[in-house]
A and B are shown apart, each in its own frame.
Chain A
Amino acid sequence: MIPVEQYLVLGLVLFLIGAGGALLRRNPVMILMSIELMLAAVTVNLIAFSRMWGAVNGQLFSIFIMADAAAQTALALGIVVACKGWARPATATRSEPAEMADSADYRNREQPVAADAEEADSYAERLQP
């Protein structure tokens, strides 16, 4: 039998990777994916405990976590899409907040690669009076 610590260490490693991702990444979709990873890491622990005690309660908890994770993803992605206005094409004419433009981070940021030229053009045309 594999000692239970090894499952706990696996859960810990996955959880910390997920936590690091949620803290490091700026993209809201990436943050949500990292949170999913953290939830999945917790279920590993619960199921290892369920096996360890020979009781199914840990599996029940993991089922509840999965249901909540699915619901949370659906709602969070809806909010992200609604707030970002991502359905519109992104253009370079977007005005940035002044304090962002002043910070060194913002000035040193990498420019988005290959912004959709056609999309931006058609958007600019539509903006013309």
Chain B
Amino acid sequence: MFLDRLLFDFFAAIAAASALAMVTRRNILHAAILLLATLLAIGGIFLQLQAEYAFAAQLLLFAGGVVLLFVLVVMLLVPESLRQDASFNWKNYVISALVLVALIEILALVWARHEGTIWPSVAALPPNNTGAMGDALFRDDLLAFEFASVPLLATIIGVVMLAKRRTE
């Protein structure tokens, strides 16, 4: 499908470019905005994969919540002089080179074995796949859903402890 290809290329290019710009930016606030762009582009790819609920959650949780948290913390609590993070030396170039080599190696492996996998022609996603997710989440995988609340509870307790220690 031409449209699929167009959407995927568009969002993938935005995601990769802004991710690369994010990790090389010196100003933390600029990096946070570029992280937002990356996450929005990834959300576009979710939509292209017919994952509407994951798209909405990506917008609300990652783009809305997490990036907002970063921006607020940086703007309210980090003094101006510490918002620049400039520390490049030879170690950084060695690590970048290693990461680059790993990337090229894995890409070469994928390309060498590339035979144009077709999507398996098992049943496609149900059209109402948010409803199917609700069924799975609250009936089949209820235990996992309940256990997901454990880290959230731990986070709440931890944050309250930190806040108490700061105000005392």
| Chain A residues packing against B (C-beta within 8 Å) | 1-10, 12-14, 16-21, 23-27, 29-30, 32-34, 36-37, 40-41, 43-44, 47-48, 50-57, 59-60, 62-64, 66-75, 77-82, 86-87, 89-90, 105, 108-110, 112-116, 119
11 extra interface residue pairs, beta carbon distance < 8 Å, beyond A2-B4, A30-B31 = A2-B5, A9-B110, A13-B19, A27-B28, A29-B78, A37-B38, A52-B119, A64-B144, A70-B66, A90-B81, A116-B81
- Measured between beta carbons, the chain B residues less than 8 angstroms from A3 are 116-119
Question: Contact between A66 and B58 (Cβ–Cβ < 8 Å)?
Answer: yes
- Measured between beta carbons, the chain A residues less than 8 angstroms from B120 are 52-53
- Measured between beta carbons, the chain B residues less than 8 angstroms from A54 are 122-125
Question: Contact between B54 and A86 (Cβ–Cβ < 8 Å)?
Answer: no
Q: With the chains together, A7 CA to B132 CA distance in Å?
A: 23
Asked if B168 is at the interface (CB within 8 A of a chain A CB), the reply is no
Secondary structure at chain A's binding surface: helix, strand, loop or mixed? Answer: helix
- Measured between beta carbons, the chain B residues less than 8 angstroms from A57 are 136, 141
Count contacts between A and B, CB distance < 8 Å: 238
- Measured between beta carbons, the chain A residues less than 8 angstroms from B95 are 20, 23-24
Question: Contact between A21 and B22 (Cβ–Cβ < 8 Å)?
Answer: yes
Provide the B69-109 mask, 1 if CB < 8 A to any CB of A, else 0: 11001100111111011110101100110010011001100
B167 → A minimal CB distance (Å): 11
- Measured between beta carbons, the chain B residues less than 8 angstroms from A82 are 162, 165-166
Q: With the chains together, A61 CA to B54 CA distance in Å?
A: 10
Question: Contact between A32 and B70 (Cβ–Cβ < 8 Å)?
Answer: yes
